[in-house]
Structure 1
Amino acid sequence: MTEVLAAPGTDAGAVPPPGADETGAPQVEVMGVRHHGPGSARAVVAALDRLRPDVILVEGPADADPLAALGDHPGLVPPVALLAYETGSPSVAAFWPFAVFSPEWQALVWAAAHDVPVRFCDLPTSAVLGGPGPDTAEAETPLGDETSQEPAPSEIPAPSEVPSAPEGADLSETSAAGVRRDPIAALAAAAGYTDPERWWDDVVEARRDAPTPFPVLTEAMAELRAAAAPLPDDEQQREDRREAFMRQTLRATLKGGARRVAVVCGAWHAPALDGKLPPAATDVRTLRGLPRRATSVTWVPWTSSRLARASGYGAGITSPGWYHHLFVSDDDVVARWLVKVARVLREQDLPVSSAHVIEAVRLADALASMRGRPVAGLEEVTEATRAVLCDGDDTLLGLVTGRLVVGEILGEVPDSVPTVPLAADLRTVSRRLRLPQEALERTVELDLRKPNDLARSRLLHRLTLLGVGWGTPAASRTRSTGTFRETWSVQWRPELSVSLVEASLWGTTILAAATARAVDTAVHGTLPQITALVEQCLLADLPDALAPLLDQLDVRAAHDEDILHLAGALPPLVRAERYTDVRGTDTAGLARVADALLVRLCAMLPAAVTNLDDDAARDLRTALDAVHEAVVLRDVDGAGRALWLRSLLVVADRSEGPHPVSGVLGGRATRLLRDVGHLTPAESAVRLGRSLSVGTPAPTKAAWIEGFFDGGGLLLVNDPELLGLLDAWITDLTEDAFVDVLPLLRRTFGTFAAPERRAVGDAARRRTGSTPAVPTTFRALDLDEAQVGPAIATVALILGAP
C-alpha cells in the first residue's frame, strides 16, 4: 500500500482541467481524510490549491454554516469545537472538535482566505441530538467514523457507528468484524505492518512531497466497506441517513450552479460520495422521519489534551502535540522537536546540552533507518528522548509526554461568536479581573484585602454555586492561616462551556444567576444545606439572596426536630458572622438567626440526649463540640454563652438517675465545662471519681472516660489528680473488666498525638513509688486530712510505699 499511494496515477497532472471533466460535467473531488491528521490536512490544502473549487463541502453539522465563515477570524484560535445543545435542555449537547492540523479546519481556513463559499454537509444538530442515545456526545471518530474508542467515565460518547462484535467473533484485522472495527488495521495488515498507527504515519502523516492520496484511499475504503461486517439495524439507519444527507447536500450544491466542488469528509464515507450518485429518491426516503430538536450552535474553546485518545474522545489521537508539530514544521522535524524537548527539561534545571540534542537526533534517525521507515516517527523520537535526554528516567519522559506529546493548549473564541449571555458576562468579568481561562491547572493565592483578589474570590464562589467548577479551594502554599487569604486551583475545561449554558436559565449575568440559583436551592433544601448555602452566599457576596435564605432558615429551624440538624446549622452561621469582616459583607441578619437557633438547640438538648446508645452519642458529641467552639468564640460574656453552659451542666448532671445520658456525653459535657472554667479542676475531679465509683459497669466508666479525655491528652499530664484517679481505677480493674474496657480505652488514647501519649506515659511513670492517688480524692471531697492521714499512712506502709 505504501507503493500504491505513491503511484503516478494519483498525480495532480492526471486531473482534467478545472471546472469540468472530459465530458464537460461538473467536477467533484472527494477528499477522504482522517480527522485530526496533519498529513491529511496538508493534502487537503494542496488539493484545494490545485482544484480552486467554487464551493467546499465539509463534514459537520449542516446548521452550523453561519459559523463556518469565521474560519479566518483572528480571534478564533484552535483547538476549538462546535458546541450544539438543545435549546430547552442544555445538558443534551454534542461537540465537534477542530485542531489546527484537522483537515476540516484547514478547509474552512482556505475557504475564508480565498473567499470561497463553504458549507457543512452532515446531519444537522437537530437530528443528531434528536436521535436515540446518550445526552452528551463528541461527534467524531478518527477516520470518518470507522474507529471508536472507549470513553472516559466522565464522558458520554456519541452513538457509535462501530458495533460491538459478538462474543467469539473473529476480530483479526482481515476478518469482516475486524475490518468494521478498525479499517486502518486492515490496510496496515495488507501492507505487511503490525502497527496500524505506524503504517498510517508512514504513508500519510510523514509524507510531504507525495501526491494527494485521496483517490487511492477512496478505492481502498470501497473495498473495505464491501468486506466489512454488517451493522445492527439502528446503527445502519444512522449511517445511511448521514450519507444520504451528504449526497443531498452535494446535489443541491451542483444544482445551484457550482462547477468545481471539493468534499472533505471522513475516508470511510468517501466511496458513498464519489462517482455517480444514486437516484435522489432513495435518499429522500432514507431521510424521511428524521428526529428533530430545537438546538443552538456556537464555537467554544477546546484543549489539545481533550484531543488525545486517553481523554476518551472518540476521534482522539495519542499525540496531538506531536501532530501539531508535524503540521507546522516545514523541515528538520525531528531536530526541531528534540530542541523543544531539551527546552522543557532545562526548565526543570536539568543539564541538557546541544550535544545531547545532536546525539538524540542521530539515534532517532538510525532507529528509523533500521526499521525501514521513511523518517523517524514519534516512537523513534521517544526512544531517543528516553535514552539520551532523560537518561532512561521514565518520570522525566512522562513530563515530556505531558508537556509536548499531548500538550495543553486552550483555544480562543472571539467575542463576536454568538453565545449565551452568561458566557459573555463571564468572559468580560474574567478579563477585567485578569483571571484568564487556561487549560493548565494552576494555583491562585488571593489576598482578600486587595480589591481585585476579593473580586476574583467572589467570582469563583459564584461560579461554584452555579455548578461551573472553574476553581476548587486548595491548600495554601504559605504558612499564613489568616481569614484574609484564599487559595484556589483553577483550570478551564471544555465541558464547562456546557455548564455555563445549563446555568444560563438562572440569569444573564453571573451575579444574577448565582442569586437566583441560591434562592431556588434554599426553597427545597434541608436545614444544614440552607446553612451551608448562607455561608456560600456571604463568600460570593450575594446580598439579594441573603434575606430569602435567612427567612427559609427561620422556617426550617422552627420545624426541624432533629438536633443534629440544628447543631450542624449553628457553626457555619457563626463562622460567617465572625469571619466575613474582611470581605465587607453585611452580616447583621445572621445574629438574629444564630440566637434563635441557639435557644432552640438548648431547649431540645436535655430531651435529645436521653436513651442514646454510645454510637449515637458519639455523633452528637462531635456536633456539640462544634457548637461549643462556635458559642465560646462568638459570645464571650453574653447571655447566649450562659444559656449554653447551663444546658451542658444539665447533661453533665444526668449521669445518674432514672434517665441517665450516655457516659460519652456526660464526660464530654464535664470536660467542656472544665475547659471554660465553669467547673473547677477539683469539681471535675469529683465528677470523675463518681463516674469511676464502685457499682458502675466498667463499659459505662470507659465511655465516660472516652467523652472526657478524647482529644485532650495534655490534661492528664498537667492535672496529677485526674491522672491519679484514672490510674487507680485501671489498677483496680479485674481481668475480665479490663478486657471489656480495653478497646474503648485504646480508642480514647489512640486519638492523642504521639508526643501527648509519650508525655502521659512519662507522667504515669513518675507516679511509681509516690503516694497513691486516693488522698487527693479525699482532699477534693473536703475530708479532714488530719483524721484520715494516719490510716492512709498505715495502708501505705503495708503496701511498701514510702
Structure 2
Amino acid sequence: MTPRAGGTAAAGRGPLLLGVRHHGPGSARAVLAALEAARPRAVLVEGPPEGDALLPLAAHRRMRPPVALLAHAVDDPGRAAFWPLADFSPEWVAIRWAAAHGIPVRFVDLPAAHSLALAEQRDGGPEEGRGIDPIGILAGTAGYDDPERWWEDVVEHRAAGGRPADPCAPFAALAEAMTALREAHGDGGHPQDAVREACMRLQLRAARKEFGDDIAVVCGAWHVPALEARTTVAADRALLRGMPKVKAELTWVPWTHRRLARHSGYGAGIESPGWYGHLFAAPDRPVERWMTKVAGLLRDTDRTVSSAHVIEAVRLAGTLAALRGRPAVGLAEATDAVRAVMCEGSDVPLALVRDRLVVGEILGEVPETAPAVPLQRDLDRQQRTLRLRPEAETRDLELDLRKDTDAARSGLLHRLRLLGVDWGEPVAGRGSTGTFRESWRLRWEPELFVRIAEAGVWGTTVLGAATARAESDALSASSLAGVTALAEQCLLAGLSGALPVVMRALADRAALDADVGHLADALPSLARSLRYGDVRSTDTAALGEVAVGLAERVCVGLPPACTGLDAEAAAEARRRVDAVHRAIGLLAVAVRADGLSERWAGVLHKLSGRDAVAGVVRGRATRLLLDDGRLAGSEAARLMGLALSPGAAPAGAAAWIEGFVGGAAGGGLLLVHDDRLLGIVDTWLTGIPADTFAAVLPLLRRTFSTYDPGVRRTLGELVRRGPDPGRARDEGGPGTPGFGEGFDEERADAVVPVLRLLLGPEAPAERAAAG
C-alpha cells in the first residue's frame, strides 16, 4: 500500500506520514494529537538508525531536554554530528509517546556511519544545506516576508486554538504543499537528500514487513513526497551502493536553547526557542503567562514593573494582533507590547528579555547510564566531587588556592585547557592579584563533548590525558617560548608527572637557541611559573636554574639587539624590555639570584645612554630606572633634555617620549607631578618646526591618548597656566622645579588639616604628623 500523508486515521491505508517542522511546538502538538487518534503499532522518527539502542533512555527520569544525539567517528572523534531535540520537537514528542505506550520506536534516516564519512565532502554537518528554504517559499507565496511569522499563523496558533475534527488533516495539507514545491524545485539544492530518502524508504519497507501498515512516520515535511513516491528496492539500493563509511559511536549529550537558536554549526536555526518552549508548556493563557515571566525578569534587574503593567501589556499585544490580522498574539506583538509598556520604549531592557527568555539559557540533562568515553566519565566524577557542574550561562568563579577544593578546581580547569577543552577562561580578578587567587569565567558549550572525545586519545582520566598531552607537546614544540609556556601550564595544572620531560625539553632548547629575542620571550613564562611553587606545593628548583641562566644570557645579548631597529622592530623591543623587567623582578624574589637585579639595572643604563638604541627603547629604559629609584630625577631630566634637544630628529624625540611617558604605566601622572619634565616636553613640543610637526603628530597623539581623561585635563590646565616662578628651584631651572632632593616639611604639613577632617582630632596619624 502507498504511504499516506495525513488523511483519516483509519487503518489499512498505508503508513501514516506526519511531515513536521523540526522544533515546532505546533507541529509537536499536532503529532501528539495524530498519534493519539491513530494509535499506530510502531513509530519511526527521522534520525540515525544507530541511535535505536539509545531510545529507551528517552524515558529515563533524569533525561531532560534539550538534548542531542552525538555521533562521532571512532578513529577521528573530531568528525562529529549532532541531532538536537527540545521539549517542543515533534520527534521528541513522538519518542516519548511511544515509550509511554510501550510501542516500538526506531530511527529512520541515513546511518551516522555514512553521514560522518560524507561530512568532509560538504561545508557543514549532516543537518546542513545551502538549498531552498521550503517554509520561506510558502511564506512568501502567502504574502509574508517572515517565515517564522507565517509558520506561527498557519500552524502554531491554529494548533493552539483547538484540535481539528481530523487531527491528521494539517499534515495532508502540508504534504500537498511540499509536493508542489518538489515538483517545481526538484531536490531544492539538497543533493544528499536523494540518498537519505532512499535509505528512509528501505527502512520503512522493513518496518512494514515487521509491523504491517499501521505505522506512523515522523519526519521533516520536505521528505514526505519522497516517501510517498513509488520506487523499487533495487533502485533505492543502487543509490546507496558504494557509499563511504566510518565506524561511529553515538550517545546522548545535553544541549542548550542558545545552540538551538544558531543557524550555523550544529544549531537548529530556531529564532526563539525560549518562546517556543513557553508556547508548548503553557497549559492555558500563554500570553498572560509570558508577560508575567517578563515582569519577573525585569523586577530582578530592579526595574519597576507592576501587575498593572502586565495587564496593560496583555491588552496591547491582543490589540496589535487584531490590527495586524493575526489569529493570535505572536512573538512580534508580545515584544512590541513589552517594549512600549514595561521597557518605556527602550531596547536595552528588551535585549535582556530576548537573551534570557526569548532565547533562554536552559541546559539539558542526560542520565549517567548514557554511553560515554572513559575521559568523559572521569570528568563527570570530578565535576560532582568538586561541586562544579556545567552550566549554560556564563558564570564567574573566584578561587582561593589555599583551600583544597578550590585548588583542585583550578587544577581541573587548567588540565582541561591543556587538552583543548576550554570550559573555563582565566580572567582578571576583582580581588587580590596575588598567587593565591584565581578568577575564571565558565561557560559550558555542547561542542565541548566533541573536544572531550578527541582528548580521549591521550588517556582515560583527565590527569593522565593532560600529562600525556603535555609530554607530547614538549617534544614537538617548535619554539623555546612554546616550551616555557608549557612549563607554566604544567605547574598551574599540577602535572608533576610531565615536568621532567618538559624540563629536559626546555633545557635542550634553551642551550641551543642563540636568538636573544626568543630568550626574552621565554623568560616571562618561567618567571611567572616560579611563583606557583609555594601555593601549589611544587618543586621549582630546576625551573629556577634554567630561568636564571636565561636571564643572564638576555642581559648579555639584549643591548646589541636593540640597535639599528625600524619602528616596528623598536616597538617589539620595547615590549620585550618591559616583559624582561617584570620577569627579573619576579626572579629576584623567587630564587634570590645574587646580583641579577644589579646586572639588569646595568643593562637599562646602557640602553638609556646609547644613541644607537631606538628612541622608544631608550625612553622606556630611562623610565624603568626612574621608577625603581636607580636614577635621580635630575638625571632623568638631563637625559630627556638630550633626547629632546634641537639637534635631535623630531621623530626620534617623539619616540623617546612615547617610551618614557607612553602607555598606561602612569606616565601622565609623572608629568602632572614633575613640573620640570613637563616643562621640557612643552618646550620641545612648541619648538618643533611646522614642516615636521605633522609627521610626529600621530605618534604624540598615540602617546597621550592612553591617559585617563582627568590626567589629560590636568595637563592641559598646567600648560595653559604656564610655569610658576614662585615654585622654582635652582636644580630645575627657572619655573620648572621638579622633584625636590629632600623632604619638604612645609608642603608635608599642608596634609594635616585634611587628615584631621578624615580621621578626627584624636587620630594617631595627626599626633604623629604634629609631633
TM-score range, shorter chain: 0.7 to 0.9
Q: Does 2:255 match 1:302?
A: yes
Moved more, 253-262 or 463-472: 253-262
Q: Does 2:70 match 1:100?
A: no
**Number of the residue aligned with 2:115:** 128
Secondary structure of the corresponding residue to residue 387 of structure 2: coil
CA distance in structure 2 between the aligned counterparts of 1:288 and 1:400, rounded to whole angstroms: 51
Change (3 A) 1:615 1:773: farther
**Number of the residue aligned with 1:159:** 129
CA distance in structure 1 between the aligned counterparts of 2:645 and 2:320, rounded to whole angstroms: 84
**Number of the residue aligned with 1:458:** 411
CA distance in structure 2 between the aligned counterparts of 1:354 and 1:724, rounded to whole angstroms: 64
Q: CA-to-partner distance for each residue in 1:301-351, whole Å, 9 max, x for gaps?
A: 111122225667664322222222222222222222222222222222333
1:434 equivalent among 387, 402, 424: 387
CA distance in structure 2 between the aligned counterparts of 1:687 and 1:456, rounded to whole angstroms: 50
**Number of the residue aligned with 1:419:** 372
Q: Does 2:495 match 1:508?
A: no
1:185 equivalent among 129, 139, 144: 139
Secondary structure of the corresponding residue to residue 46 of structure 2: strand
**Number of the residue aligned with 2:598:** 642
Q: Does 2:194 match 1:240?
A: yes
Q: CA-to-partner distance for each residue in 1:563-592, whole Å, 9 max, x for gaps?
A: 222112212211221355333333222211
**Number of the residue aligned with 2:45:** 58
**Number of the residue aligned with 2:724:** 766
**Counterparts of 1:563-602 in structure 2 under 5 Å?**
563-579=516-532, 581-602=534-555
**Number of the residue aligned with 1:353:** 306
Change (3 A) 1:371 1:224: same
Change (3 A) 1:732 1:610: same
Moved more, 501-510 or 730-739: 730-739
Q: CA-to-partner distance for each residue in 1:157-194, whole Å, 9 max, x for gaps?
A: x234x25xxxxxxxxxxxxxx8x57353267459x999
Moved more, 672-681 or 410-419: 672-681
Change (3 A) 1:304 1:489: same
CA distance in structure 2 between the aligned counterparts of 1:286 and 1:731, rounded to whole angstroms: 82
CA contact (8 A) 1:218 1:270 kept: no
**Number of the residue aligned with 1:168:** none
Cα deviation for residue 115 of structure 1 reads 1.9
Moved more, 695-704 or 111-120: 695-704
Structure 2 residues not aligned, in runs of 5+: 735-771
CA contact (8 A) 2:20 2:219 kept: yes
CA contact (8 A) 1:335 1:361 kept: yes
Secondary structure of the corresponding residue to residue 263 of structure 1: strand
**Number of the residue aligned with 1:325:** 278
2:172 equivalent among 218, 232, 257: 218
CA contact (8 A) 2:530 2:540 kept: yes
Change (3 A) 1:297 1:677: same
CA contact (8 A) 1:504 1:513 kept: yes
Secondary structure of the corresponding residue to residue 90 of structure 1: coil
Secondary structure of the corresponding residue to residue 311 of structure 2: helix
**Number of the residue aligned with 2:764:** none
Q: Does 2:63 match 1:76?
A: yes
Secondary structure of the corresponding residue to residue 392 of structure 1: coil
CA distance in structure 2 between the aligned counterparts of 1:375 and 1:743, rounded to whole angstroms: 60
CA distance in structure 2 between the aligned counterparts of 1:30 and 1:599, rounded to whole angstroms: 77
Q: CA-to-partner distance for each residue in 1:356-389, whole Å, 9 max, x for gaps?
A: 3333333434444455544333333333333333
**Number of the residue aligned with 2:227:** 273
**Number of the residue aligned with 2:438:** 486
Q: Does 2:217 match 1:263?
A: yes
What is the TM-score with the length of structure 2 in the denominator?
A: 0.83
CA contact (8 A) 1:193 1:199 kept: no
Change (3 A) 1:124 1:207: farther
Cα deviation for residue 65 of structure 1 reads 0.9
**Number of the residue aligned with 1:799:** none
CA contact (8 A) 1:70 1:112 kept: no
CA contact (8 A) 1:133 1:159 kept: no
Secondary structure of the corresponding residue to residue 486 of structure 1: strand
Q: Does 2:485 match 1:542?
A: no
Q: Does 2:590 match 1:603?
A: no
Secondary structure of the corresponding residue to residue 428 of structure 1: helix
CA contact (8 A) 1:716 1:760 kept: no
AA paired with 1:360? A
CA contact (8 A) 2:153 2:326 kept: no
Cα deviation for residue 767 of structure 1 reads 4.6
Cα deviation for residue 119 of structure 1 reads 0.9
CA distance in structure 1 between the aligned counterparts of 2:231 and 2:689, rounded to whole angstroms: 97
Q: Does 2:456 match 1:469?
A: no
Change (3 A) 1:315 1:641: closer
CA contact (8 A) 1:206 1:375 kept: no
**Larger CA Rg, structure 1 vs 2:** 1
CA distance in structure 2 between the aligned counterparts of 1:713 and 1:401, rounded to whole angstroms: 43
CA distance in structure 2 between the aligned counterparts of 1:751 and 1:385, rounded to whole angstroms: 41
Q: Does 2:46 match 1:36?
A: no
**Counterparts of 1:107-146 in structure 2 under 5 Å?**
107-131=94-118, 137=124, 139-140=126-127
AA paired with 1:121? V
**Counterparts of 1:615-694 in structure 2 under 5 Å?**
615-635=568-588, 638-652=594-608, 654-655=610-611, 660-678=612-630
What is the TM-score with the length of structure 1 in the denominator?
A: 0.80
Query: How many residues align structurally?
Result: 719
**Number of the residue aligned with 2:754:** none
Structure 1 residues not aligned, in runs of 5+: 1-8, 22-26, 141-157, 164-177, 777-802
Cα deviation for residue 295 of structure 1 reads 1.6
Q: CA-to-partner distance for each residue in 1:616-650, whole Å, 9 max, x for gaps?
A: 33421331222123223432672322333344444
AA paired with 1:639? G
CA distance in structure 1 between the aligned counterparts of 2:661 and 2:530, rounded to whole angstroms: 31
Cα deviation for residue 698 of structure 1 reads 6.4
Moved more, 75-84 or 553-562: 553-562
Cα deviation for residue 403 of structure 1 reads 2.0
Secondary structure of the corresponding residue to residue 89 of structure 1: coil
CA contact (8 A) 1:93 1:136 kept: no
CA distance in structure 1 between the aligned counterparts of 2:41 and 2:703, rounded to whole angstroms: 83
CA distance in structure 1 between the aligned counterparts of 2:670 and 2:282, rounded to whole angstroms: 71
Moved more, 253-262 or 105-114: 253-262
Secondary structure of the corresponding residue to residue 84 of structure 1: strand
AA paired with 2:601? L
**Number of the residue aligned with 1:151:** none
CA distance in structure 1 between the aligned counterparts of 2:704 and 2:282, rounded to whole angstroms: 66
CA distance in structure 1 between the aligned counterparts of 2:147 and 2:562, rounded to whole angstroms: 75
Cα deviation for residue 471 of structure 1 reads 1.6
**Number of the residue aligned with 2:766:** none
Cα deviation for residue 43 of structure 1 reads 2.4
AA paired with 2:115? V
CA distance in structure 1 between the aligned counterparts of 2:686 and 2:176, rounded to whole angstroms: 90
Q: Does 2:387 match 1:387?
A: no
AA paired with 2:490? C
Q: RMSD of the alignment, in Å? A: 3.8
User: Sequence identity of aligned pairs in percent?
Assistant: 48
CA distance in structure 1 between the aligned counterparts of 2:279 and 2:701, rounded to whole angstroms: 64
CA distance in structure 2 between the aligned counterparts of 1:568 and 1:193, rounded to whole angstroms: 54
AA paired with 1:39? G
CA contact (8 A) 2:18 2:221 kept: yes
CA distance in structure 2 between the aligned counterparts of 1:644 and 1:267, rounded to whole angstroms: 73
